[in-house]
A and B are shown apart, each in its own frame.
Chain A
């Protein structure tokens, strides 16, 4: 299966909101409500930020939210902070398999 498509980079100023898209197909993103999002700081392991499209794990800031429309899922970060600067990856379940997105580098200006 092919990797999900994400923009290579997204940037915003502190306090602003940004949205990262994750585009797949009807066989993965569009076919299941099993999209998750991960934040990865340099040299660190990925950290779960959103699961099942729009659910936030305990301890994750409510500034992070997820949604899905058709074959595209989205992660929105509101009230952007310096600590949000990191790489972000989406992932989708698809027929007993998992596919990740290409990754997006978020820069806080």
Chain B
């Protein structure tokens, strides 16, 4: 059974870089699939951030593209998110998920709340 677990600092200062990691268990990332990051500001809806293939090929949300970097480390079976120049608007629960085929996300990690504040 595939499981995903997000980890990283829960508090980031404005203008700094948010860094999160998603550890995957029960499946080898190098075997295939895209892997994605999705976020949800408190009390608001879901927003796709970007996805990465095991080979390193990436797709990003155009609205975040200039600030986002997603990378994969197959040796550690994990993938990571970096979001630069954060502001309070980036405060959200960040989820990682496996991307099936072309169209859906399953399973999801439990999510991690990142607050941007000085």
Contact = CB atoms under 8 A, between A and B. Distances in A.
A34 B48 contact: no
Contacts of B51: 98
Interface in B74-105: 95, 100-105
B46 interface: yes
A66 to B, nearest CB: 11
A93 B48 CA distance: 11
Given A45-B111, A97-B61, A51 B48 contact: no
Given A1-B62, A89-B46, A97-B62, A36 B105 contact: yes
Contacts, number: 64
A100 B47 contact: yes
A75 B83 CA distance: 33
A47 B105 CA distance: 9
Contacts of B33: none
B103 A51 contact: yes
Interface residues of A, number: 26
Contact of A97 (B48, B95, B106, B109): B48
Given A45-B109, A96-B59, A34 B102 contact: yes
B106 A57 contact: yes
B110 A52 contact: no
A86 interface: no
B45 interface: yes
B104 A36 contact: yes
A3 B45 contact: yes
A13 B36 CA distance: 36
A48 B61 CA distance: 21
Given A98-B48, A99-B48, A46 B104 contact: no
Contacts of A91: 46, 48, 103-105
6 contacts: A45-B109, A97-B59, A97-B61, A98-B48, A100-B46, A103-B46
